A and B are shown apart, each in its own frame.
Chain A
Amino acid sequence: MTTTQSPAWSAELLPDLTTPLARLVLAIGDDELISGHRAQHWTGVAPSLEQDMAFSTIAQDEVNHADTWYSLLVDREAEDARLRIDSLGLGRLPEQYRHAVLCERPPGDFVWTLARHWAYDHADVVRLGALADSSHDDVAGLATKLLREERYHLLHADQWFDRLTGMDRGRAEFGAALRDVLPQALWLFEPIEGEDEIVAEGLLPTASTDLRERWLEGVEAALRGADLAEVLPSQLRPTYDEPGGRRGVHSEDFTLDVWPEMTALHRAHPGAQW
């Protein structure tokens, strides 16, 4: 369970981060926030104008999806709601973030980005599909809505999957990227801290490891269909004995790269508002 002290500049603005709802929201919201930050890398430098718009829009979508998830933890009608939501996104120490390490990895080349995009968005849609049946009304409503928005991301990812696997050079490079991405993508399903309680309350109706099976079913079928099954990792079901991102253990790609840049303004000017 989280024992880390929140930073002094935001401690008074942060809600209790240890409630079942907070633990669930941080896992999902942080995945989206950090994915959005990495997607925005392509703004201005993507291989084509269409892909520039695609990843710029995906970045904008994911950061705002995170914002919306965080809003479930604050009084949205309060005058300082914006400040409190921003504090959740930007006012935590690196070890208080709960996203999977895959999300914090640098964008790599465009093929690597597309491999992560494909693996992540399939996982996100599986998770949202389960959350649409959450016992928490706002979680269920939000998941239902975001599922419709994410369909545009998934369509984009699947179109690139078909395009790349349909050509020799694309298959080779995309396959190599997937070999790197897929073992890390399995950690999107590392159980959330205290997940038994979150599942028992129906907040998350399906356990993370069961969501992993649903994800694997789709991913394996797509790869077999593309005759690329050899890129699947030999170990498809990690035991998650060592703590990963869901328990606050991150790589330097986050602690020395994403986090310092993402939070620089917030740390320099606590309480700053746009």
Chain B
Amino acid sequence: MSTLAIDLDAVRNAAGSVADPELPVVTLGMLGMVHDVKVEDGRVVIELLPTFSGCPATDIMGLDVRAAVGDQVEGIGEIGIRWLFQPVWSTDRITAEGHDQLRSFGIAPPTGGGPVSTLERPNHARSLPVAGAGAPTDRDPDAPPTADVRCPYCDSQDATEDSPFGPTPCRAAWYCQSCSQPFERFKPL
């Protein structure tokens, strides 16, 4: 197999186009999970960043990436999936398009600060800046959790948190006082 024949952009696109099994409106690309694609010893290796550690979809995502790249990229041989702990994934990596898609699905995107204002972040937290253009990068991780949460249905800020624990590890349960609609919020991480 000639490694030169493999189009790594096509590999990245195929991996990035895989839908989140639990939130199919967003792709791994929109979530900022595809770190790198490379050729090592004649095989393609796709480096992915895991999101929430408790996410049961992680193993499925790896299988789906393998299948998508195998189907869509010509001349692909053996495919390796590598989950990395560095750089550290954070919700800052979700693209602006990802935010729009989450909102359309009834989920407030992870804007407006982290969960606890009293804890300092480790001073060498290794999050990388988001790769895609137009991604939100102005989040203050130490801001109060209620800042800038808008109802995904009516855009009101008159919303309250019912529970920081929702149906999945990445989502909290919220309620909009303005349109009387319960909604979920993607937790900032």
Distance of A116 Cα from B13 Cα, bound (Å): 46
Distance of A264 Cα from B88 Cα, bound (Å): 35
B42 at the interface (CB under 8 A from A): no
CB-contacts of A206-243 with B (<8 A) = none
Residue of A nearest to B87 (CB): A141
Q: Are A145 and B124 in contact (CB-based, < 8 A)?
A: no
Least CB distance from B179 to A in Å reads: 22
B82 at the interface (CB under 8 A from A): yes
Query: Quick one: given A53-B173, A133-B122, are A146 and B53 in contact (CB under 8 Å)?
Result: yes
Distance of A151 Cα from B56 Cα, bound (Å): 20
Least CB distance from A221 to B in Å reads: 12
CB-contacts of A112-150 with B (<8 A) = 125, 129, 132-133, 137-138, 140-149
Least CB distance from B113 to A in Å reads: 11
CB-contacts of B21-52 with A (<8 A) = 50, 52
Least CB distance from A65 to B in Å reads: 5
Q: How large is the interface on A (under 10, 10 to 19, 20 to 34, 35 or more residues)?
A: 35 or more
Least CB distance from B110 to A in Å reads: 12
Residue of B nearest to A48 (CB): B163
Give chain A residues whose Cβ lies under 8 Å from the Cβ of B85: 137-138, 141-142, 145
Which of A53, A58, A76, A146 lies at the interface centre, i.e. has the most chain B CB atoms within 10 A of its CB? A53
Q: Are B52 and A53 in contact (CB-based, < 8 A)?
A: no
Query: Quick one: given A141-B88, A149-B189, A152-B187, are A68 and B53 in contact (CB under 8 Å)?
Result: yes
Give chain A residues whose Cβ lies under 8 Å from the Cβ of B82: 76-77
Q: Are A57 and B165 in contact (CB-based, < 8 A)?
A: yes
Distance of A63 Cα from B173 Cα, bound (Å): 22
- Per-residue contact bits, chain B 51-76, to A (CB 8 Å; 1 contact, 0 not): 01111100100000000000000000
Give chain A residues whose Cβ lies under 8 Å from the Cβ of B52: 61, 149
Checking A54, A58, A149 against B163 with a beta-carbon cut-off of 8 angstroms, the contacting residue is A54
Checking B54, B90, B169 against A148 with a beta-carbon cut-off of 8 angstroms, the contacting residue is B90
A50 at the interface (CB under 8 A from B): yes
Query: Quick one: given A53-B166, A132-B124, are A60 and B54 in contact (CB under 8 Å)?
Result: yes
Knowing that A82-B59, A137-B86, A155-B164 are A-B contacts, what are 19 other residue pairs whose CB atoms are under 8 Å apart, sorted by A's residue number?
A53-B165, A53-B166, A67-B53, A68-B50, A76-B83, A77-B82, A132-B122, A138-B86, A140-B126, A143-B122, A144-B88, A145-B88, A147-B119, A148-B90, A148-B121, A148-B189, A149-B189, A151-B115, A152-B115
The 7 closest A-B pairs by CB, nearest first: A141-B85, A141-B86, A132-B122, A57-B165, A61-B54, A64-B54, A50-B163
B residues touching A (Cβ–Cβ < 8 Å)? 50, 52-56, 59, 80-90, 114-116, 119, 121-122, 124-126, 162-167, 169, 173, 187, 189
